Amino acid sequence: MAISKENKEFIDSLIDYYISESQSYLQIAENYVPEIESITDTAFGIIAGCVYSGFLQAYQNQQQSPSLEDMNEFHQILKERAPIIKKSLVAPTNESSEGPENPESVPE
């Protein structure tokens, strides 16, 4: 694998941060109802985009460009952490006293 240990740690810290702030990203996604079909999926996309942007910014700060191998490894890291990200988005919705506006965002 090609991503440096430092960059992997940075990616992990980004993902951890966005997981801890997942409720905020759900609120951002809710601003797009009814244009979106899934608040949870939209929030996940926002988080994935933010992590991706941070990944690219880390390389830019090092005056480098990620290789195809780096990109593939990044996507693999994000895929491995996706269930945890998704869980952080779904759990707050289940605790809502009024219930979600979009039933699709609640696990069965």
Could you read off the pLDDT tens digit of each residue along the chain, which spans 108 residues?
Answer: 489 999 999 999 999 999 999 999 999 999 999 999 999 999 999 999 999 999 999 999 999 999 999 999 999 999 999 999 999 999 754 443 333 344 333 333
Confidence at residue 92, expressed as pLDDT on a 0 to 100 scale: 53
Q: Is the peptide bond before 66 cis (omega within 30 degrees of 0)?
A: no
Domain ranges of the chain: 5-93
Q: Can you give the pLDDT at residue 29? A: 96
Looking at residue 104, its pLDDT comes to: 39
- pLDDT score of 96: 38
pLDDT of residue 87: 95
State pTM to two decimals: 0.79
Phi-psi bin for 63: left (phi > 0), alpha (psi -120 to 50), beta?
Answer: left
Quick check: 40 and 105 in contact, CB under 8 A?
yes
